[in-house]
Amino acid sequence: MNRLKEKVLTLDTMNPCVRRVEYAVRGPIVLRALELEQELCQGIKKPFTEVIRANIGDAQAMGQKPITFLRQVRLSTALAPLPHQAMCRGLSTRSSQVLALCIHPDLLKSPDFPEDAKRRAERILQACGGHSLGAYSISSGIQLIREDVARYIERRDGGIPADPSNIFLSTGASDAIVTVLKLLVAGEGRTRTGVLIPIPQYPLYSATLAELNAVQVDYYLDEERAWALDVSELRRALRQARDHCYPRALCVINPGNPTGQVQPRECIEAVIRFAFEERLFLMADEVYQDNVYAEGSQFHSFKKVLTELGPPYAAQQELASFHSVSKGYMGECGFRAGYVEVVNMDAAVQQQMQKLMSVRLCPPVPGQALLHMVVSPPAPSDPSFAQFQAERQAVLAELAAKAKLTEQVFNEAPGIHCNPVQGAMYSFPRVQLPPRAVQRAQELGLAPDMFFCLRLLEETGICVVPGSGFGQREGTYHFRMTILPPMEKLRSLLEKLSQFHAKFTRDYS
């Protein structure tokens, strides 16, 4: 007798923590954007001709050209760059790709490749056992590349030593962040681990804490002071959290995502002192450290400030700091490469971290090779130096101009307020929504800013992420938008968005 069996895995029987996971950056609004793209391809008429994905910080998807040095080394800096399309089709015989040499070592015999490219490729291959990037590496990452990362950190921090044994390579910074959170989470009931995260926050944190059944402890950035971090707000959040959980960690995102602020050194010092006094493990998400635009703003690493504070902080405060090749001037999101440096971590726990990473075997080895090139850029004596410097500065200068343009256009639009985009790759404007629009959103079971963003997508093709996906003070409404589109497309996008907000306000007023 054939009888229908109930499925073993259903919404009722699955892990309830997974059901609670939300990730707004690739959430429902992005799924609708994909549907609209398919409808456009099928010839279905829309009020727009393309969907503009301004929802995510994927630089190359938005048109940013790869930095030449990370993909290839010129035979001569005097050679004019070939058209981008030709490079994509592999038609260049005057340039050589370091990653290509690593992936297909037989090319090392070719006279078409310059010696500096071959030396780099051979160095990486030797570190991989002399074979290819298709072999596993050790779980914490190739030792030589960890040493390169340590030297990079030392240069960045003005000579403060970095120990390669405290550096773990990872599948982007996200993977390392999740690993550290796994180490921290423990307890049940009122002893469940609480983790302080900024609001607005990057949804990786809320999603991971939900998956691990930990307690998210919100502390609010001060929008009226350009998203400043105030230690008095940390104290409020911590005091209230201790009634229902055991706070053990404090996360700081600097430069900020989605808020784009760059924290001054005095703020970082105050945060370190607070974490030390309250016995909190510090997590410093510093993946946008190359993206600082505002005059007077400067990136200060938590590691550097911690060390310069001296004892007892430098000797005892536990810290994990994260970096990635996905952001900065690089924008190499698809290679999934990053690292974490741990400071003052208990030696036995560090061994457990190594064990946890070994379960995943190793980070992608091509990504590790790319990370090597990011942390070991051309020296002034190298043939690639001039072109590398010019391209790097051009990318960052254009991002700075886009940041300024975004702030300017939004603040000229009635009902939209945008704080200065001091760093990172996003703006997080506050929008005024009419009461009738809020009421209509509630009738549809939507957050008001989600309703606004969905209408924006349906009428203009512009895809942004509602502020409710990142967290915001009750009664305020925002959206996150990347500043990465090419300048002219960005200008048009900003104007269309401002015009849509005016129309939306009229329609629901």
Query: pLDDT of 283-297, one tens digit each?
Result: 999 999 999 998 888
Q: Between 125 and 215, where is the model more confident?
A: 215
Which value, in Å, is the radius of gyration of the alpha carbons in the chain? 24
Q: Answer yes or no: do 246 and 328 share one domain.
A: yes
Cβ neighbors of 397 (< 8 A, separation 6 or more) are none
Helix axes 172-184, 204-211, angle to 10 degrees: 40
Mean pLDDT of 19-43: 80
Chain position carrying tokens 């002399």: 130
Residue 203: inside a domain, yes or no? yes
Q: What is the tally of structural domains in the chain? A: 2
Decide if pLDDT at 458 tops 80.
Answer: yes
Q: Answer yes or no: do 180 and 237 share one domain.
A: yes
Q: What is the CATH number of the domain that holds 404?
A: 3.90.1150.10
Alpha-carbon distance 205 to 221, whole Å? 16
Residue 417 and residue 410 in contact, taking contact as beta carbons nearer than 8 Å: yes
Percent of the chain at pLDDT exceeding 70:
92
- Please choose, from the candidates 299, 340, 298, the residue with its C-alpha nearest in 3D space to the C-alpha of residue 318: 340
Chain position carrying tokens 């509602």: 466
Alpha-carbon distance 251 to 284, whole Å? 6
Decide if pLDDT at 479 tops 90.
Answer: yes
Decide if pLDDT at 130 tops 80.
Answer: no
HEC-encoded secondary structure of 5-58: CCCCCCCCCCCHHHHCCCCHHHCHHHHHHHHHHHHHHCCCCCCCCCCEECCCCC
Q: Between 369 and 152, where is the model more confident?
A: 152
Digit-coded pLDDT (tens) for 418-435: 999 999 999 999 999 999
Q: Answer yes or no: do 361 and 404 share one domain.
A: no
Alpha-carbon distance 118 to 102, whole Å? 9
Concatenated DSSP letters of 53-104: E-SS--TGGGTPPPPHHHH-EES-TTSPPPPHHHHHTT--SSEE-HHHHHHS
Residue 80: inside a domain, yes or no? no
Residue 344: inside a domain, yes or no? yes
Residue 116: inside a domain, yes or no? no
Q: Among 261-270, 385-394, 478-487, name the one with the lowest average pLDDT.
A: 385-394
The strand pairing partners of 195, in sequence order, are 216, 249
pLDDT at 92: 30
Q: Which of 325, 351, 375 is the last residue of a domain?
A: 375
Which range of residues forms the domain containing residue 464? Answer: 16-60+391-508
Q: At 218, is the pLDDT very low, low, confident or very high (cuts 50, 70, 90)?
A: very high
Q: Answer yes or no: do 265 and 313 share one domain.
A: yes
Q: Answer yes or no: do 279 and 345 share one domain.
A: yes
Q: What are the Cα distances from residue 170, in Å, to 81, 157, 164, 285, 289?
A: 32, 21, 14, 14, 18
Q: At 26, is the pLDDT very low, low, confident or very high (cuts 50, 70, 90)?
A: low
Q: Answer yes or no: do 404 and 308 share one domain.
A: no
Can you give the pTM of this predicted structure? Answer: 0.86
Q: At 234, is the pLDDT very low, low, confident or very high (cuts 50, 70, 90)?
A: very high
Q: Between 3 and 388, where is the model more confident?
A: 388
Q: Answer yes or no: do 56 and 160 share one domain.
A: no
Q: At 86, is the pLDDT very low, low, confident or very high (cuts 50, 70, 90)?
A: very low
Q: What are the Cα distances from residue 17, in Å, to 176, 352, 439, 471?
A: 20, 24, 31, 19
Alpha-carbon distance 59 to 153, whole Å? 24
Cβ neighbors of 35 (< 8 A, separation 6 or more) are none
As a residue count, the chain comes to: 509
Q: Answer yes or no: do 351 and 436 share one domain.
A: no
Mean pLDDT of 92-100: 49
Decide if pLDDT at 83 tops 90.
Answer: no
Q: Among 111-120, 145-154, 382-391, 476-485, name the one with the lowest average pLDDT.
A: 111-120
Decide if pLDDT at 487 tops 60.
Answer: yes
Decide if pLDDT at 247 tops 80.
Answer: yes
Residue 103: inside a domain, yes or no? no
Q: Which residues of 148-159 are buried (b: 16+ CB within 10 A; e: fewer)?
A: bbbebbeebbee
pLDDT at 364: 85
Decide if pLDDT at 115 tops 80.
Answer: no
Alpha-carbon distance 338 to 236, whole Å? 33
Residue 448 and residue 437 in contact, taking contact as beta carbons nearer than 8 Å: yes
Residue 149 and residue 339 in contact, taking contact as beta carbons nearer than 8 Å: yes
pLDDT at 1: 55
Decide if pLDDT at 483 tops 60.
Answer: yes
Chain mean pLDDT for the chain = 86
Alpha-carbon distance 484 to 59, whole Å? 6
Q: Answer yes or no: do 333 and 399 share one domain.
A: no
Digit-coded pLDDT (tens) for 158-203: 999 999 999 999 988 999 999 999 999 988 878 899 999 999 999 8
Residue 435: inside a domain, yes or no? yes
Mean pLDDT of 366-393: 85
Alpha-carbon distance 140 to 163, whole Å? 13
Residue 450: inside a domain, yes or no? yes
Q: What are phi and psi of 436, to 5 degrees?
A: -65, -35
Decide if pLDDT at 90 tops 60.
Answer: no
pLDDT at 2: 63
- Please choose, from the candidates 472, 471, 433, 476, the residue with its C-alpha nearest in 3D space to the C-alpha of residue 454: 433
Residue 314: inside a domain, yes or no? yes
Q: Which of 341, 375, 409 is the last residue of a domain?
A: 375
Pairing of strands 52-53, 462-463: parallel
Decide if pLDDT at 101 tops 50.
Answer: yes
Q: Which of 318, 344, 375 is the last residue of a domain?
A: 375
Q: What is the CATH number of the domain that holds 195?
A: 3.40.640.10
Chain position carrying tokens 């996150």: 480
Q: Answer yes or no: do 365 and 432 share one domain.
A: no
- Please choose, from the candidates 173, 195, 204, 174, the residue with its C-alpha nearest in 3D space to the C-alpha of residue 24: 204
Alpha-carbon distance 160 to 303, whole Å? 9
pLDDT at 422: 94
- Please choose, from the candidates 214, 298, 191, 224, the residue with its C-alpha nearest in 3D space to the C-alpha of residue 255: 298
Q: Answer yes or no: do 207 and 327 share one domain.
A: yes
- Please choose, from the candidates 391, 395, 416, the residue with its C-alpha nearest in 3D space to the C-alpha of residue 406: 416
Q: Answer yes or no: do 232 and 267 share one domain.
A: yes
